[in-house]
């Protein structure tokens, strides 16, 4: 049980982290505390559910119903959460710009507001299809250093400023709005988890050094996409399903929450592997999840916790982004499983001996 009788607050934790960098200005801490405040506000809104009159996609509500740049209908809470992130962070003086799943183009810090040296990229509400059924959702964010010319010139941030590989992230984290609200973050010194104390309104350090076990017997994938999977993914899942009677010689369990933040949290807590791989469902979309504000922050957290994140072909954090809203195939979690999936991508399909068809004896849907 990691919880101590003298719990540290998020603020105390960040001050402690900063002590390790004597030259640090404290700007990053200010930024992270603003993000945490935004998450607390969103947690509060989420907790009110329909009573807050902003939950469903069908209710006549003042916000939502628009189609975002992803081609997805925005739920009212997507829009409200986005606004909360913008309002909380725009005036802090720590940012040179922000970008979000819910906005086509980067958000310019309003004229007259102080600007800073960081960029914030976020998915303000991840898994928003879960809102209507009262299942966990989250917010996920990534902090990048603003290019020096952006800081020096004071110009508005452009898409190009955000196109930095995940290995350059300064910090990343998420808030999970589940039975409890938790904030999990990394500033590049491991991963720490905080639980919101509803009485105090404070995030308390409850999981000081989160580590992902190398091995697991639990996987997560949307099996309804099976017919679109590439051969290495089919092989991996078939072998998991074959369990003790197949080449893995052990039984696996499967989970699917439909909120990547919630899946990442489960994996950080007890291990597992998550796949939303590149597939052939829609050739215009090389994957479902977004590189800059879903795959990269989760990849940073996994690597910082001793896990692994990959496209299946290369480490996620090495991918040079080409677009703000770029989609990508994503595999993350327990290192041994992710490495196995990478190996299957390297091995030619004909090396599979014997071939294991997905829809025969070892089918997902038949014994
Ligand atoms: O179950 P599906 O429809 O395949 O998709 C679930 C995935 O979509 C997402 O919800 C996408 O996030 P958004 O809700 O922010 O669009 C992921 O979190 C999740 O892994
Ligand atoms: Mg999302
Ligand atoms: Mg979202």
Predicted confidence (pLDDT) at residue 361 exceeds the cutoff of 80: no
The finding on whether 161 has its CB within 6 A of some atom of ligand 1 is no
Which pLDDT score, from 0 to 100, does residue 62 have? 46
Place of tokens 């639990």: 218
Please give the structure tokens belonging to residue 110. 């309003």
> In the chain, what are the domains?
10-207 (3.30.540.10), 218-351 (3.40.190.80)
Whether the complex's predicted ipTM is more than 0.85 is answered with yes
The finding on whether 31 has its CB within 6 A of some atom of ligand 1 is no
For residue 126, the ligand 1 atom closest to its alpha carbon is 15
pLDDT in tens, 155-207: 999 999 999 999 999 999 999 999 999 999 999 999 999 999 999 999 999 99
Predicted confidence (pLDDT) at residue 362 exceeds the cutoff of 80: no
Q: Tell me the sheet residues that pair with 118.
A: 95, 145
Predicted confidence (pLDDT) at residue 61 exceeds the cutoff of 60: no
Residues in the chain: 367
User: Any idea what the Cα angle at residue 204 is, between residues 23 and 39, rounded to 5°?
Assistant: 85
The bound ligand whose nearest atom lies closest to the alpha carbon of 78 is 3
Place of tokens 């928003």: 128
Pairwise CA distance, residues 316 & 196, whole Å = 30
pLDDT in tens, 331-346: 999 999 999 999 999 9
Backbone angles phi, psi at 317, to 5 degrees: -70, -5
Pairwise CA distance, residues 192 & 210, whole Å = 6
What is the whole-number distance in angstroms between the Cα of residue 35 and the centre of ligand 3? 16
What is the whole-number distance in angstroms between the Cα of residue 295 and the centre of ligand 2? 10
Which pLDDT score, from 0 to 100, does residue 64 have? 62
Pairwise CA distance, residues 65 & 79, whole Å = 9
What residues does the ion ligand 3 have nearby, CB within 5 Å?
101, 123, 125-126
Predicted confidence (pLDDT) at residue 57 exceeds the cutoff of 80: no
Q: pLDDT band for 60, please (50, 70, 90 cuts).
A: very low
Q: How many other β-carbons are positioned within 10 Å of the β-carbon of residue 5?
A: 4
Backbone angles phi, psi at 160, to 5 degrees: -60, -30
Q: What is the mean pLDDT of residues 12-35?
A: 90
What is the whole-number distance in angstroms between the Cα of residue 1 and the centre of ligand 1? 31
Place of tokens 């997902």: 364
Which pLDDT score, from 0 to 100, does residue 50 have? 87
Q: pLDDT band for 284, please (50, 70, 90 cuts).
A: confident
Pairwise CA distance, residues 51 & 166, whole Å = 39
The finding on whether 126 has its CB within 6 A of some atom of ligand 1 is yes
Q: 67: number of CA atoms within 13 Å, CB side?
A: 3
The bound ligand whose nearest atom lies closest to the alpha carbon of 263 is 1
Q: Tell me the sheet residues that pair with 309.
A: 332
Burial class (CB in 10 A: 0-12, 13-18, 19+), 58: exposed
Predicted confidence (pLDDT) at residue 59 exceeds the cutoff of 50: no
CB 109 within 8 A of CB 43: no
What residues does the ion ligand 2 have nearby, CB within 5 Å?
123, 126
Of 90, 107, 103, residue with least CA distance to 156: 107
Of 41, 55, 102, residue with least CA distance to 74: 102
């Amino acid at each position: 049980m990691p919880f101590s009788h003298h719990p540290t607050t998020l603020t105390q934790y960040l001050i402690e982290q900063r002590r390790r960098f004597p030259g640090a200005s404290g700007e990053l801490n200010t930024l992270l505390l603003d993000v945490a405040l935004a998450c607390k506000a969103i947690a509060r809104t989420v907790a009110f559910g329909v009573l807050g009159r902003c939950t469903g996609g069908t209710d006549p509500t003042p916000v939502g119903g628009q189609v975002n740049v992803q081609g997805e209908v925005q739920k009212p809470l997507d829009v409200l959460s986005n606004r909360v992130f913008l309002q909380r962070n725009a005036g802090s003086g720590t940012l040179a710009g922000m970008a979000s799943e819910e906005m086509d183009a980067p958000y310019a810090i309003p004229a007259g507001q102080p600007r800073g040296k960081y960029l914030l990229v976020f998915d303000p509400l991840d898994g928003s299809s879960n809102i209507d059924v009262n299942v966990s959702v989250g917010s996920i964010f990534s902090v990048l250093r603003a290019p020096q010319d952006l800081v020096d010139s004071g110009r508005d941030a452009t898409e190009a400023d955000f196109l930095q590989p995940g290995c350059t992230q300064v910090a990343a984290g998420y808030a999970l709005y589940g039975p409890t609200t938790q904030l999990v973050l990394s500033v590049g010194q491991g991963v720490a988890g905080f639980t919101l104390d509803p009485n105090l309104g404070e995030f308390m350090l409850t999981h000081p050094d989160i580590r992902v076990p190398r091995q697991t017997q639990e996987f997560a994938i949307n099996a309804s996409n099976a017919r679109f999977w590439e051969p290495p993914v089919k092989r991996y899942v078939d072998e998991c399903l074959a369990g003790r009677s197949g080449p893995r010689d052990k039984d696996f369990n499967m989970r699917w929450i439909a909120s990547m933040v919630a899946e990442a949290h489960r994996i950080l807590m007890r291990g597992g592997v998550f796949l939303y791989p590149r597939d052939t469902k829609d050739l215009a979309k090389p994957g479902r999840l977004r590189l800059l504000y879903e795959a990269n922050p989760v990849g940073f957290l996994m690597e910082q916790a001793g896990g692994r994140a990959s496209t299946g072909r290369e480490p996620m954090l090495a991918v040079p982004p080409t677009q703000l809203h770029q989609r990508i195939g994503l595999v993350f979690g327990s290192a041994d499983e992710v490495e196995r999936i990478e190996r299957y991508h390297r091995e030619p399909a004909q090396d599979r001996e014997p071939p294991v068809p997905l829809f025969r004896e070892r089918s997902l849907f038949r014994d």
